[in-house]
């Protein structure tokens, strides 16, 4: 499998582990993936809840929590570590600035267009900036804005297709439309990025995500022009994943029919495993009394059926009466708990057999 280069970072196995919040991918999973030659990614979502003992101030606890998770990851690996930050989060700026100050290798930003992200870099910063997009148009807008406003181009771009888990950058009716399939998006975005690569003599690798589960899938998507892949769902049912045993078991127990598209308070469709909580929401039996964290810019408490960060935190702990697990379209293929090392070995074996 060809290595992935993002600027001066050489990634031995071209696999980036997807950032999964709340609490699903922290230092434990990120370090394990980095130790296998991939990019381990810490999710910054909801760290203020996980570190509420440090401070009752959500924003303050989030900054402290991110520093702690980066420190813990660095103790466990010398590999490449990234941080995933949602543009929709109200503390987006704090999280990006903190990650850069802590000299993280990569900041990955999705759930919105991170048009001002290069402004947070200092002259001495080595951190690579990688936006997540769902179309060639979004990739073009980011490249143009970053170049004209900051004389900076993305160090890489991630395209998340409609089979991804969690929040999706598509309208609900686009999710099953072949025109928006990852296999169609990859060549389109590669062609768009090539314009900027040639104009400014800078490589911008495309990383494909959403529904990639095996080494065979990696082989097929790299053939279409992607330089690497991002995978989240595949790493949930691992010993090293930071979620509770019950959260991991929800993936093992899930059948294909249990994975559905839900409406998130964030204002985007999301893919999740059906739970009692989701059923209660659909029956209109949930309504938050107040917004304790103001964590999402686009969340309107008067219209929201529930507090998403609390729901995801409950799921992280295994409480599915009051929460639910985000998951990719292939989560139902999970049958057992494995180690991250075993999963990487299977990628390489499957990839080689696809080449043969």
Which CATH number do you get for residue 185?
Answer: 3.20.20.70
Q: How far is CA 17 from CA 4, 81, 210, in A?
A: 14, 10, 12
Contact of 38 with 13, CB cutoff 8 Å: yes
Mark whether 85 and 207 lie in a shared domain: yes
Residues forming a β-bridge with 4: 11
User: Which residues face 133 on adjacent strands?
Assistant: 159
278 located within any domain: yes
For residue 308, give the nearest of 286, 330, 328, 338 by alpha carbon.
286
Q: pTM for the full model?
A: 0.95
Q: In whole angstroms, what is the distance from residue 216 CA to residue 35 CA? A: 22
Cα(209)–Cα(330) distance, integer angstroms: 12
In terms of domains, do 209 and 77 share one? yes
Asked whether residue 63 falls in the same domain as residue 157, the answer is yes
Q: Report if residue 328 sits inside a domain.
A: no
Q: Which of 12-16, 30-34, 170-174, 325-329 has the lowest mean pLDDT?
A: 170-174
Q: Is residue 44 part of a domain?
A: yes
Q: Positive or negative CA dihedral for 353, 4, 71, 237?
A: negative
Output the pLDDT for position 288: 60
Same domain for 97 and 147: yes
Same domain assignment for residues 284 and 303: yes
At residue 39, the 3 state secondary structure works out as strand
Residues 160 and 17 in one domain: yes
Structure tokens at 223: 């053939």
In a domain, 13, yes or no: yes
Same domain for 142 and 189, yes or no, is yes
Query: Cβ(26)–Cβ(69) under 8 Å?
Result: yes
Residue carrying the six token digits 């809840």: 49
Crossing angle of helices 182-200 and 215-223, in 10° steps, is 50
* Residue 322 placed within a domain: no
- Do residue 199 and residue 272 come from a single domain? no
User: Domain total for the chain?
Assistant: 2
CB 281 within 8 A of CB 266: no
pLDDT above 80 for 300 = no
Kindly state whether residues 251 and 238 are assigned to the same domain: no
- R_g (Cα) of the chain, nearest Å: 19
What's the half-sphere exposure (Cβ side, CA atoms, 13 Å) at 306?
24
Say if 290 falls within a structural domain: yes
Same domain, 291 and 179: no
The CB density around residue 177, as the number of other CB atoms within 10 Å, is 12
Residue 183 in domain: yes
Mean of pLDDT values over 206-219? 97
Same domain flag for 170 and 251: no
Nearest to 84 by CA among 111, 121, 57: 111
Helix (H) or strand (E) holding 301, with range, is: none
Q: Are strands 9-11 and 4-6 parallel, antiparallel or unpaired?
A: antiparallel
**Res. 13 pLDDT band, cuts 50 70 90:** very high
Q: Is residue 70 part of a domain?
A: yes
CA dist., res. 194 & res. 49, Å (int): 41
Kindly state the average pLDDT of the residues 258-269: 88
Please report the pLDDT score of residue 250 as a whole number. Answer: 97
**What tokens appear for 244 in the block?**
């509770």
Number of alpha carbons in the 13 Å side-chain half-sphere of residue 99:
29
**Structural domain that includes position 28:** 4-243+335-355
pLDDT (0 to 100) of residue 145 = 98
With CA atoms as reference, report the closest residue to 127 among 89, 164, 85, 161: 85
**Lowest-confidence range among 82-91, 241-250, 268-277, 304-313?**
304-313
Domain identity same for 302 and 236:
no
- pLDDT at residue 268, rounded to an integer: 82
């Amino acid at each position: 499998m060809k290595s992935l280069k993002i600027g001066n970072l050489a990634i031995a196995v071209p696999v980036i582990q997807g950032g999964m919040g709340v609490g699903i991918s922290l230092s434990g999973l990120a370090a394990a993936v980095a130790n296998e030659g991939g990019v381990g990614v810490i999710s910054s979502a909801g760290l203020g809840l996980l570190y509420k003992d440090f401070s009752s101030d959500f924003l303050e606890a989030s900054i402290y929590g991110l520093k702690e998770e980066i420190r813990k990851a660095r103790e466990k690996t010398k590999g490449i570590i990234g941080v995933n930050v949602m543009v929709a989060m109200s503390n987006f700026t704090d999280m990006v600035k903190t990650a850069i100050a802590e000299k993280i290798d990569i900041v990955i930003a999705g759930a919105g267009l991170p048009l001002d992200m290069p402004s947070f870099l200092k002259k001495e910063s080595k951190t690579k900036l990688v936006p997540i997009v769902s179309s060639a148009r979004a990739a073009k807008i980011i490249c143009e804005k970053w170049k004209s406003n900051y004389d900076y181009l993305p160090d890489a771009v991630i395209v998340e297709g409609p089979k991804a888990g969690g929040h999706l950058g598509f309208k609900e009716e686009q999710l099953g439309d072949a025109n928006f399939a990852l296999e169609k998006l990859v060549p389109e975005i590669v062609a768009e990025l090539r314009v900027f690569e040639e104009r400014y003599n800078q490589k911008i690798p495309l990383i494909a995500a959403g529904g990639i589960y095996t080494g065979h899938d990696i082989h097929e998507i790299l053939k279409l022009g992607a330089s690497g892949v991002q995978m989240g769902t595949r790493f949930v049912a691992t010993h090293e994943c930071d979620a509770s045993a019950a959260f991991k078991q929800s993936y093992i127990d899930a059948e294909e029919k249990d994975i559905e598209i839900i409406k998130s308070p964030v204002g985007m469709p999301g893919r999740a495993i059906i739970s009692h909580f989701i059923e209660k929401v659909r029956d209109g039996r949930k309504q938050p009394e107040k917004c304790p964290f103001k964590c999402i810019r686009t969340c309107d408490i008067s219209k929201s059926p529930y507090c998403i960060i609390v729901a995801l935190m409950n799921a992280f702990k295994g409480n599915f009466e009051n929460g639910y697990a985000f998951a990719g379209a292939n989560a139902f293929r999970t049958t057992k708990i494995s180690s991250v090392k075993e999963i990487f070995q299977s990628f390489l074996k499957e990839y080689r057999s696809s080449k043969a």
